[in-house]
Structure 1
């Protein structure tokens, strides 16, 4: 190829500045590429020293001369740096300088210089470096996440501030150490670190949660992500690992689940309570019909021993049903309570004979009371039943016998309390046994209605439910503490009675009931069975009876029949309750004596205290007592 064709080739290159320098660095040729990105025409630059393209600071340190000297000494110079265009703007150049020597003699003829404009590539590289620096700064600045790298073997190769804060290790303490150090001993025994890396290698990512260990040995609940890092060819380079401490979040979620479960349990128990209360009301009506009919039959049949024995048996069965109903009402918190001032030591001492006879000879009772123990405000009869229930449960937990401890102490509650008590002063009555105790599952269900571990026919499953209902209805709580093999302690918390508290008015005792002259009585009940028996008992007592199956019908009778001297009404009736009927009747007939037949406790605050109430099922004596009380002058 001749010289003209070489020159044509070189001159056609526009992406490179290709030109010649003489031995002193004077430009002796110039191609179109040099013209394009350096700005000089060939006429303008040929004959000028090539140092013109250098920035002032490079010329001051003699960089152009050093480049030529290097090319002469080593046969080639290559480097990068800032260069200057004709218009004064700078560009980043990649430069190669080769010495040109004469064939044969080796005489230096000059230099061949090739320059390439790498400004865009340098800008991109600087942008990339700036981005990498910013990313590294970002990673290092994150303190809520542990972000670090692992090599292919799982050894830590980088460590950010978040990792240091969460895990407690400084970079120099952990880099080079295998990441399994953060796992618990039990997880290491199960090869959990190895499984995590194998999953990330195989699937590209591993994510999970579990306990991790800090430098100081404390544990935290971690959310962990491990990502596989590969080069463009797919070769594994290592792993990126992100760990977040979610202990507080997990605890908050746990507390939320506890609250949700408690809410669902509360809803369930409320629904069961509503159902139980309704069933108990209907059951009471049935028992009312049975017991009153048996009482009336007894008065009308001959004194035959066998017949009387059968009647006695029927009455006992009906009364057992009535007791069960009362327990169901207690659980549903709908029993009618007669709260009064009760001194716990006196009550327990007074029922010691009943307790000992109920518990048997293999069980002894130890009582311990705090000195100057204040009285509580509670229904004394119901508290006796509750303590008897707790004592019988304690006895059943000790089949070989043992000691049951009944203790009582006072306590001021001012803030949060394990028994979830409202602020105030309480007496805690503890019943402790030395029995086998309960596991967590049994303890969690112990107060559920109808739940029992005593076997079929050996318990109703309502004992503890009844005690819990009494405590709640009295403004206190029942708590159970038990460990398998270590016995059980039942704590019955009851509010301290104020000094001015007085027992609720009690009906007149049967022995004190004065003879009542025959009356005209209006009996009201929406249940025909109960109404028939109420009428029969009133007639048995010598009274003339008018009947009504609703409050509306009863009001109409009161309006047109001035001879009615007493109103006996059921409470739970549709459209108009007994309480509403009494209120309307007293507007129509002020001073009319009334009796309310019910078992529901919510009436205690809905009616004046001087309204006599008969707890269903009631008998002739209770009815006579109620009539005598209703006819007493009211103060």
Structure 2
């Protein structure tokens, strides 16, 4: 009777049941194999089962078979098996070795795998949407600012032209200063926008939150608009934290945008930093280990949240904003970032009175890692006799300016507008001491590829890339070979001249 029950279970089971020998063949298989993969029992037993395993899964499968050979059991091992129609199905295995045979049961999990992949794709799209939503909040203000800066530059150039034609030189230096200052502010705006929109995750650094907030203050004021009064309270002697600066900036921006949206009639937004000592008694209430922390708090006097909303605020996709106005991922991503950084996020809110959101991050004792300050150059150094620079840039006006500056300092210059022209010059016998190339070039060959080809043709050739922030991925995010260096646009021509001189002399 029991044998009949086992046989009946074998025949009716929707799981793929099989017995395999140590030569890598099935000795028996139930009908579910044909239902799922299309192979009859006779076909399965006629071929080594390794022929059915997806090539990418074969190494892991061999390792699992070795475990079975040592007498260990298999639970939840996954691989792909080829169906008769050539497609592959994901199987999840349970197997037990006994007397030289492996008794196994496999479940088809293809649909679960596909649903999980689709869900992860949707989540990633939503994460990127959330980032772009934050950038979208900036575009109106940025467009306004860029138009103002362009007007300042254009107006200065126009007045310089008029004064030059009139022979009046007295005001030229003042107009140059106005245009130069506008260029610097435009570069800072571009850098900030790209910092928020880039997809890559940066390495954590030692960060001073006071300096980070100060650096974002102008941006936040533009984002808040005239109806919101922004106040910053910076703690004296603030400790450093160890975190990704880009994610910190993104978190602060999102908290401020949430606060702004909670004050539709206007109000006051306060960004505050503080050193915090969390003792053993208060630690459980903050869901933090006892220790020293730095807090970044964003407070508003807006509509506030009910306890029910506060309880769900960190849930992914939960939002109180109208459809199309938010992804519901802002606070959940901030929460995840804080937890990954060893910290926590706490919300304090009262309906009708406002909300405070505090990010707690552990104290970090290392010195702050700050970006290199802009080079201060008093006079541009001149070239040694015969020093030659190859300038490659598809922007004719910028290439012309660089060439004229280089020639004015005594350098011999060669120039090209794309990678193909540059290679023709590099393949010649002309002397070249430095390749100065833009990264984004037309014609299917970028500046990094030109530089790699140049180093093949001329071993040890010094290379100086000039690049916009958005092109850093082409440069492997700064991981360059010895002798390759980068300057970011826009730059002062005197600073460029000093860098060229330094690189050529370092040969």
Which band: TM-score by shorter chain? 0.3 to 0.5
Asked which structure has the greater CA Rg, the reply is 1
| TM-score normalized with structure 2 length | 0.46
TM-score after normalising by structure 1: 0.38
